[in-house]
A and B are shown apart, each in its own frame.
Chain A
Amino acid sequence: MSQPLFQATSLRKHYGDQVVVNDLSFHLAPGECLGVIGPNGAGKTTTIRMCLGLTTPDAGRIEALGHVMPQDARAIKAQLGVVTQFDTLDPDFSCAENLVVYARYFGIGKKAMRARVPQLLEFAALSHKADAKPGELSGGMRRRLSLARALVNDPKLLMLDEPTTGLDPQARHLMWERLQLLLQQGKSILLTTHFMDEAERLCSRLIVLDHGRKIAEGRPRELIAQHLEPDVVEVYGNGALSLAQSPLKDYAARVEVSGETVFFYTQDARRLLDALGQHAGMRTFHRPANLEDLFLKLTGRQIREDG
C-alpha cells in the first residue's frame, strides 16, 4: 500500500460526560474517496472538526499530507479544500469576487486568479452567474460555488461535509458528476453523507460510525455482501404484519418489521415471492439489498435524538 495521504489514529474526544468519538482510526490513500456514514450524533462532524484542527482531540494523532494536525494546521490547510455543511459564502460579493477573496487567504493574488476564476466558474456550471451574489443563487448553485471556492488552491485532498444535503435530484447529480471528475483528476476526497446512494456511487471505501465508534469498514459492495442477504422483499398492505410470524419467514434469512412494512432478507426471492402470491391484497416490492439496508442493520431503525 502506498503511503497514506491522511491518517487518523486512535482519536478520542469527549464533551462533559459524553464520549463523542471513541478510539477511531482510519486512513485515506491517494486518489481514494472515503465515505464516513453514521446516524445523527454518531460523531461525524466532531471527527471532521478534529481533522481540520478546529477541535483538539483528547487523545490520538492526525497526520495529513506529511504534517501533523493541529500543530501544522496552516501547512495542511494550504493543500486542503473544504466544503462545510452550511455555506460560508460571502453574501456581499459576487461569485467571481468570492473566489478572488477566498484565494487571498491562501496567499494567491488577484493576478494569479485572473485566469483561474473563469475555469472554476465553468467547472461549477456558474459561468453565467459570475456577477451574481450568492443570495441570488439556488441551493445547488451555492453548493457548487462552495466547491469551486474549495478548489482555489488546487488542493490534493478535499473534505466535504454533507455536500448535497438539501439539494434536488438534478443538483445532486450535477454535484456527483463534478466530484467524480475531481476523482478522475487524481484528487482524494473525504466525504460525510446521509445519502447511501451518494456513498455507494462516489466512495471507494466506507466507514460506518455509531456512538463515536467505527462499527464497519470496507468497499460498499463488499460490505453489503458481507452483512446482508442479496435480495430484499418488502411487503405491506392489510395483514402484512402477521406474515412476519407466518411460515413464510422460513423463506428468509432475516425478517424485520418497521411500521406497517415487513422486510424479508433472503437468498431465494423467487420462492418467497411465489409463496406471497397466495396471499391476496399484499403489495410487494422486490429489490437487491443496498447500502441503506446495511446502514439500518448496523445502526438500528430507531430515530436518533437529533433526527
Chain B
Amino acid sequence: MNTDVLTTPATPSPWRAPQLTLRWWPVFLRNLLVWRKLAIPSLIGNIAEPLIWLVAFGYGMGALVGTVAVNGTEVPYILFLASGSICMSAMNAASFEALYSAFSRMHVQKTWDGIMNAPVGLDDIVLAEMLWAGFKAIFTTTAILFVMLALNISHSPKLIVAWFVLVGVGITFSCIALIFNALAKGYDFFTYYFTLFMTPMMFLSGVFFPLEQLPQVVRVVAGWLPLASAVALVRPLFMDQWPLDWLRHVLVLAAYTVAAFWLALALTRRRFAK
C-alpha cells in the first residue's frame, strides 16, 4: 500500500465551484411524480388566493383609485395591480416550495439522505430543488396569466415575453429561499423570512402602489430589491410597452440568482458535512 497518500484528504471548502451533472433530473422527476398525485388541489390553492386579492383589490380599490400613471401613461388600477401581483405570485409559489416543501424532504423525510446514498451528489439535489421550486412558480403564474386573459385585463402580445421574465423571477426567489432552507432548524424559522423579508418587500416593490409615493431614501433601497426589478420588467409588458432600463433590472435579478444559489449551495454543503 502506498503510504504517502495517507494524510491526504483535506476537507473540501463549501465554497468550491458547483459540481453539477444531469443527475438532477431524476430528483426533479421524483418531485414531479409526487406533485402529480396532488396537482389539482394544489393548483386551486395556488391560484385561488392571488385571484381573490386581484378581484377584491383590483375592482374594489380600482373603483376608488381609477387610473394610475406608469411611465407617463394612465393605466386602470386593475392592470397596475395584476402586473405587480403576478410577480408576487411567482415569488410566493417559489418561496413556499423551496422553504416548507424542500425542508420536509431535506430534514423531516430525509429524502435527500436517501438520494445521496445513490450516485447523486448534494449539488445536483440542490439544483433539482431550485429548478423544481422554479417550475412550481411557472405553473402557478401560467395558470394566473390565463385567468387574467379570460378576465380581459390585458391582451398585450408582449405577455409572452412577460412569461419568460416570470420564469426567471421564480428561479431567483427559489435560490434566495434555499439559503434560508439551509439555515433552518425547524419550520418556525421561515416565519421570519416571510414577515421580515417578503412582506416588507411586497410593499416596497410597487406591487400595490407606485414607488413614486415613497420617500426618496426608501425608493433608493427599493430600487435594489429583486421584486421591484421583477415588477419594473413585467408591468410595461402588460401595457404593451418595452420596459425602461431593462438591462439593469435583468442584471439585478441575475446577480441575486447567482449569488443566492452559490450561498445556498455552500450553506447546504456545510449543513450536510457534519
The chain A residues found within 8 Å of chain B, CB to CB, are 7, 9-10, 15, 52, 54-61, 70, 73-75, 77-78, 80, 82, 84, 86-93, 97, 101-102, 104-107, 150, 153
Contacts and interface: CB of A to CB of B under 8 A. Distances in A.
Interface of B: 1, 5-12, 23, 26-27, 29-30, 33-34, 37, 109-111, 113-121, 272-274
Contact of B33 (A74, A101, A105): A101
B220 to A, nearest CB: 44
B34 A92 contact: yes
A102 B118 contact: yes
12 contacts: A7-B1, A54-B116, A56-B11, A59-B7, A77-B119, A90-B30, A92-B34, A93-B33, A101-B29, A105-B119, A106-B119, A150-B117
A73 B121 contact: yes
Nearest to B112: A88
Contacts of B10: 56
A88 B109 CA distance: 6
A167 to B, nearest CB: 19
Contacts of B274: 15, 55
A77 B117 contact: yes
A294 B7 CA distance: 33
A84 B30 contact: no
A170 to B, nearest CB: 26
A104 B30 contact: yes
Contact of A88 (B7, B23, B110): B110
Nearest to A86: B110
Most buried by A among B11, B29, B110, B117: B117
B116 A74 contact: no
A102 B7 CA distance: 35
Contacts of B118: 77, 102, 105-106, 153
Contacts of A92: 34, 37
B1 A78 contact: no
B109 A91 contact: yes
B170 to A, nearest CB: 23
Contacts of A10: 6
Nearest to B104: A91
B114 A88 contact: yes
